[in-house]
A and B are shown apart, each in its own frame.
Chain A
């Protein structure tokens, strides 16, 4: 439920909920996870970090220096990423927005 505290929860985090209508030809759960990882990496690359799926049950966040963290949901990636990089990940940061607009 919470970007900061999601790591403590046992229920599915809201960011991991699929909202595709059943039978609409939407992505499978596996596809959803890979899509989530790919999109998160579009953000994380600006901070020198990379996310991978970890056995379909968690995510592995890694830095270029080999530091890693295992997190249960995409929402839990952000505080872990801030700890690894020791700097805030801010979606309102002008530099990040401009970089995404150029991408």
Chain B
């Protein structure tokens, strides 16, 4: 196979993770995405070949083998198969066995915990050099959402890790069911944008574009601000759904904190690393923009369980409001205590030290 023009390995290649519970329509969505001309140079890694065939040049199956680091947690395990598959793509392109590719989509199994996949992408040095994590897309079967998410911890983790939530099978749902699921998902992960696969045409840019986009930050802001006008603690839920759905247990909650004063980045890092060390399994998602002392532009943070992306400077604030805004999705953590803890850490001060 000849290599198509354009190097695959000269720049950092975005990797999108497509996850979702069993039978929630991941492969159908992937099939629709791959029909777009924009996806012509996309390599696809799938965990299992399902009933739906993928007619695409660059489809490769990976086995789900997990290498758990000694004294590591489950989310911080290296997906050895994924590491080999990504490295293999680079090698095969260099040997001209496969065409150049400018994007990778990983379709996970329905039961996959997204944590190890994200950890592999963010921590393995060679992979970090060549690839960067793009949007995490999670499909949610509207008809079976309640069943899937109330019985499976992985389902909740998949929704919490999402940057895009894709509703599937809404054309088969009962009246009001789609709105109820949408509301519940917004309550669970307010920072993710929701797209209805049965109603909306495929929008590749919207689904796959890299984070952080200002629209997304704007959206997160508006959602949090519409809950409560003045900023202490803000639950990110919306009004009660049309029908009573309970997709997750009461211990899972989503809320955002707004901090009025610029924060000391070091104090924040100490707090968050200590929080994730002790409660990382229950901090399903942390995402926000920070107003940091010593810098005029906002700093974007994004974490899934114990895994935190490197902080990124955004070019500018999305609005005139320059306060720090952090969205949390947690399980069994008291929001008030979390806020008091963060504020206590951010108030820590030490005398400026002189360096010889």
Contact = CB atoms under 8 A, between A and B. Distances in A.
A10 B124 CA distance: 9
A19 B299 contact: yes
A100 B294 CA distance: 24
A20 B265 CA distance: 9
Nearest to B273: A75
A84 to B, nearest CB: 14
Contacts of A39: 264, 266-267, 270, 348, 350
B269 A14 contact: yes
Given A8-B69, A39-B267, A3 B310 contact: no
B69 A5 contact: yes
Interface size grouping (class) on chain A: 35 or more
Interface residues of B, number: 54
Contact of A90 (B278, B334, B350): B278
B306 A2 contact: yes
Contacts of A91: 271, 274-275, 278, 341, 345
A79 B72 CA distance: 11
A4 interface: yes
Interface string A31-53: 11011101110110000000000
Contact of B274 (A24, A30, A78, A101): A78
Contacts of A90: 278-279
B125 A10 contact: yes
A19 B265 contact: yes
Nearest to B344: A100
Contacts of A15: 266, 269-270, 272-273
B123 to A, nearest CB: 5
A19 B301 CA distance: 11
A25 B295 CA distance: 10
Contacts of B341: 91-92, 96-97
Most buried by B among A19, A28, A42: A19
A12 to B, nearest CB: 8
B76 interface: yes
Nearest to A4: B73
Nearest to B297: A21
A56 B72 CA distance: 26
A20 B293 CA distance: 8
Most buried by A among B119, B308, B347: B308
Contact of A1 (B119, B269, B278, B296): B119
6 shortest A-B CB distances, which residue pairs?
Answer: A15-B269, A3-B277, A75-B273, A100-B344, A38-B350, A78-B277
26 contacts: A1-B119, A2-B73, A2-B76, A2-B307, A11-B123, A14-B269, A14-B308, A19-B265, A19-B295, A19-B299, A20-B292, A21-B294, A27-B294, A28-B355, A31-B355, A34-B353, A35-B350, A39-B267, A74-B269, A74-B270, A74-B273, A75-B269, A89-B278, A91-B271, A100-B344, A101-B344
Given A26-B295, A97-B337, 9 more contacts: A3-B274, A3-B280, A15-B269, A28-B355, A35-B352, A42-B350, A92-B334, A94-B337, A100-B348
Interface of B: 69, 71-73, 76, 119, 122-123, 125, 128, 264-267, 269-280, 292, 294-297, 299, 306-311, 313, 333-334, 337-338, 340-341, 344-345, 347-348, 350-353, 355
